[in-house]
Every structure is written in structure tokens, then in C-alpha cells.
Amino acid sequence: MDFNILCSDKTWIKLFFLVWIFASSFTNGNWMYLGMSSVAVDTQQTEKCNTVPGLVLEQLDLCQRNPESLLCVSEGARQAIHECQNQFKFERWNCTTSQNYSVFGPIMTKGTRETAFIYSILSAGVTDSVTRACSAGNLTDCVCDPTNDGKNSVEGWVWGGCSDNVQYGLHFSRKFVDAPEVLKHQDTQSVRNKMNIHNNEVGRRTVRDMMRLRCRCHGVSGSCEIQTCWKSLPKFSTVGAKLKEKYEISIRIAGRSKRKLRPKTPKRHRQARTGRKKRLSKDDMVFVHKSPNFCTPNPIKGILGTEGRLCNRTGSGPESCDLLCCGRGYNTQVVRLTDRCQCRFIWCCYVDCKTCETLFDRHTCK
């Protein structure tokens, strides 16, 4: 499936507002359900933003001022959820969602590194889709980034075409995605609020920092007398891969931070603390709670366990049966795959094929 469709593209629109599927208990601030495939946002309905449940005041306000933006939020969340599942398909936790309002389920109640990844990729997803919509001329509040229009670069090329307006995407995502975490009184903000905002920003900065220059040549065929260049968004899957790397090296922060978030000091370091302090960078993904091992099912915590998961017997990564099955071992099944093969073209006009059978082993966790 092509997830690079614009949030405003006509192909996008099969529009119903299926919220009645969901439990009536909408907690304000859970807008992520807008990315579930069972939800579609009605463009007509968005004029009445009040009918969209789960939004906080600031989000309602943004929706009312620019109803199309809600389609972008929905499309951004959708591509983020898809990318999360793609990045985690070989992990014990595989970014499972339930087709209901809770989306990622009870794992969201703890500030683990998985939660950190979810926040950052959803924020990145909204940044991406809003920015793409700007370039398509589909949001009333923004257009292509005009900053460099017509200017010459030091290297001799000319700024031209439509540079993706990531500044607007960032701005929108900060307002919309961060809204549920930004409380009136700053000092009532919990560490979780701060953690979420921090990780939202990690997602946005990743999109921004991966913007690439793209160029086109003009002039007599093949010559490149004039070159025009513009800034372009990265493919969203590369953003996903980058955030996955950040997840791997994410930093645990202290559970009580009065003002600024700071890294948790491991116990064994506390005595022999050296002069240099570890600083938190705006690019570090952060978490508060240790993750469970995700090995055994625990419905209350929203953990499915890894029984039945496909694994790789010879691999050594997270998809290896060793790691994925948590030492429980695996079952092997011989799978028969039939396919068309040895095809010949017969004049005229058809293709004649044989049917071939291949056997291979399929391993699943016990």
C-alpha cells in the first residue's frame, strides 16, 4: 500500500465517521484513534469539529479554524501506526493495536521506551502529512516554503520548485499533538507529560533533520546549465528507521523531575559520581519505566506474549527463535508452497507454466 498519499487526495476519501464502534468512554487527549483503519473522518462532518470525540480544547480550536487539517492528522496517525508495525514486526512487542479507541492498549499507561517510540512516531507522522498537504496546496494556512524562492545558492544552483514547508508541519504538530500534555499550570505537569512532549519533539526533529535537497537540471537536452533545487521531505519509512535506532539507545530519565528532565543516575554510579554530568539532548528518546519482557501474555498490561510468532532459527537478531521465543523453544512445520514456474511464451499469445512445489520449514514460538 502506498502511504504517501496526501491527506487531502481524493483517493483518500471513503468517508464515514465510525466512532460509534468505539467504547463510549473517550478520554480527552486520545486523538491517536483517528489513525485506526476502522475510522474514517468525514470531510463534511469536520465542519462540526465538536462531533469528533477525544479532542482537547486547543485541538478543537485548530480543527475549527482549519477543518481539512483533521484529515491530515488522521492520515499522519495512520501512516505512523503502519510504520510502527513495520519497524517492530520482528520484536517481541510488535506494535499491536486493537481495533478500538484505546489503539495501543494498556501499555500506554506506563512510560516505557515502547510508549516513547509511539509518541515520537505519531508526532512525526502528523508533521509529515501536514507538510505534504501544504505542498499540495491543500491547507488554507500554508503553502510551499517561500523562504529561499528565486535565490541563488553558493554552489551556483537556483532555489526553485516547491520546498516542503516543514516549518508549518512542525508548528502544527507542536500545537495539535502536544496539546493534551500542555497543562495550564506548568508545575502540575507530570513527568509523563514532559516525557511525552520531549518524545513528540524527537519525532518532529527527526523529520526536520532528514529533509533532503532535490535538484533538477534544465537546459539543452542532457546539459545542466541551470539547476533548480528544493528541500524535500524524507520517505516516512526512513524516519521510522531512524526513530527505531533512537528507541534502541533511548535514555531512562529520573521519575521525579521538578523542572527539567534529567537522566536517571544508576545506583552503582551514585557514590562515585564524577564531575561531568550527563546532559539530555533534544534528540534523545527518553523513558521513565523499564519495559516488561513481553514474553508471557498479560491481558491487564496489554501484553500478548510471543507464543505462535514466526521466528528465524538461524538468525541472530531479535527475530531469532532464541530471543523471540524467550527460551521456550519453537515448533517446526513443513510448509508446501506451490507456484508457477518454467514459464514459456507460446506464439501467439499465451504463457504456459508448470506448477512447482517448494518445501520450507516454518518455525513458530512455543
Ligand X SMILES: *[C@@H]1O[C@H](CO)[C@@H](O)[C@H](O)[C@H]1NC(C)=O
Binding residues for ligand X (CB under 6 A): 8, 13, 23, 43, 68, 85, 89, 94, 96, 98, 100-102, 136-138, 304, 306, 308-309, 312, 314-315
Q: Is the CB of 221 or the CB of 314 nearer to ligand X?
A: 314
Measuring CA to CA, how many Å separate 340 from each of 78, 337, 353, 355? 35, 10, 6, 5
Q: Is the CB of 146 or the CB of 308 nearer to ligand X?
A: 308
Query: Least distance to ligand X from the beta carbon of 311, Å?
Result: 9
What is the rounded CA–CA span in Å between residue 44 and residue 354? 53
Query: Least distance to ligand X from the beta carbon of 80, Å?
Result: 14
Query: Least distance to ligand X from the beta carbon of 357, Å?
Result: 18
Let me know: does 61 contact 40? Beta carbons within 8 Å. no
3-state secondary structure of 343: strand
272-304 burial, b at 16+ Cβ within 10 Å, e below that, comes to: eeeeeeeebeeebbbbbbeebebbeeeeeebbb
Query: Least distance to ligand X from the beta carbon of 41, Å?
Result: 10
Query: Least distance to ligand X from the beta carbon of 86, Å?
Result: 9
Query: Terminus-to-terminus CA distance in the chain, angstroms?
Result: 32
Q: Is the dihedral of CA 86, 77, 141, 16 positive or negative?
A: positive
Q: Is the CB of 78 or the CB of 309 nearer to ligand X?
A: 309
Query: Least distance to ligand X from the beta carbon of 227, Å?
Result: 28
Q: Is the CB of 260 or the CB of 362 nearer to ligand X?
A: 362
Let me know: does 134 contact 169? Beta carbons within 8 Å. yes
Segment holding 353, helix H or strand E: strand 350-365
Q: Write out the three cell numbers for 208.
A: 526536520
Query: Least distance to ligand X from the beta carbon of 110, Å?
Result: 17
Query: Least distance to ligand X from the beta carbon of 285, Å?
Result: 21
DSSP strand pairing (226-232 vs 158-159): parallel
Query: How many CA atoms, within 13 angstroms, populate the side-chain half-sphere of residue 157?
Result: 15
Report which of 16, 29, 21, 15 is spatially closest to residue 100, judged by C-alpha positions.
21
Query: Least distance to ligand X from the beta carbon of 343, Å?
Result: 25
- Cβ of 258: how many Cβ atoms within 10 Å? 7
Segment holding 212, helix H or strand E: strand 212-218
Q: Is the CB of 198 or the CB of 244 nearer to ligand X?
A: 244
Segment holding 79, helix H or strand E: helix 68-87
Q: Is the CB of 292 or the CB of 315 nearer to ligand X?
A: 315
- Cβ of 159: how many Cβ atoms within 10 Å? 19
Q: Is the CB of 137 or the CB of 255 nearer to ligand X?
A: 137
Let me know: does 288 contact 253? Beta carbons within 8 Å. yes
